[in-house]
Amino acid sequence: MAKTKTLKKRASFSFDEMPIAKVKHQGKAYSPTEKLRDKEFTALAMLDALIDGDLPAFKQIIRAHYEALNIEATLKKAHLSKRTFYDAVSEKGNPSLETISKIMQGIGKVHHLGQLK
């Protein structure tokens, strides 16, 4: 009777032992912060979120945009307290139309004054 073949023991696997693959540099580096400072890009993203009925995404976009702009200075221009802002954009937040309007005015004032280009 012939012997049955058994599998050889597998070598252990570790992500630390994987070789590092280098990617060729292809032009300008991407900066998400710079993209989030772009008023038109952010406005279109917020509009898409509202059209899709995705309020959590809308709030995340607003928060990310404000953080990219310097949140304290932008809130000051919007005449909003930090508490009101963070309550509005929190996961459970349900901002009023008045609060959303002030948030949007704050974004417009920062860009209108030419603080960021």
Over residues 19-47, the pLDDT tens digits come to 777 766 666 666 677 888 888 888 888 88
**Domain for residue 96, yes or no?**
yes
Q: Are 108 and 66 in contact (CB under 8 A)?
A: no
pLDDT digit string, tens, across residues 61-106: 988 888 888 888 888 888 889 999 999 999 899 989 999 888 888 7
Provide the pLDDT confidence category of residue 108 given band limits of 50, 70 and 90: confident
**Domain for residue 72, yes or no?**
yes
**Domain for residue 93, yes or no?**
yes
Among residues 76, 64, 1, which one has the least CA distance to residue 37?
A: 64
Range of the structural domain that residue 81 is part of:
32-112
Residue-level pLDDT at 52: 93
pLDDT digit string, tens, across residues 46-72: 889 989 999 999 999 988 888 888 888
Kindly provide the residue ranges of all beta strands, DSSP E only, lying in the chain, ordered along the sequence.
none
Residues in CB range of 60: below 8 A, 6 or more apart = 89
Residue-level pLDDT at 98: 92
> Is the pTM for the entire model greater than 0.85?
no
> How many domains does the chain divide into?
1
The Cα 67–Cα 61 span in angstroms is: 10
| 18 has pLDDT over 80 | no
Task: Give the CA radius of gyration of the chain.
Answer: 24
**Domain for residue 2, yes or no?**
no
The Cα 38–Cα 53 span in angstroms is: 23
**Domain for residue 108, yes or no?**
yes
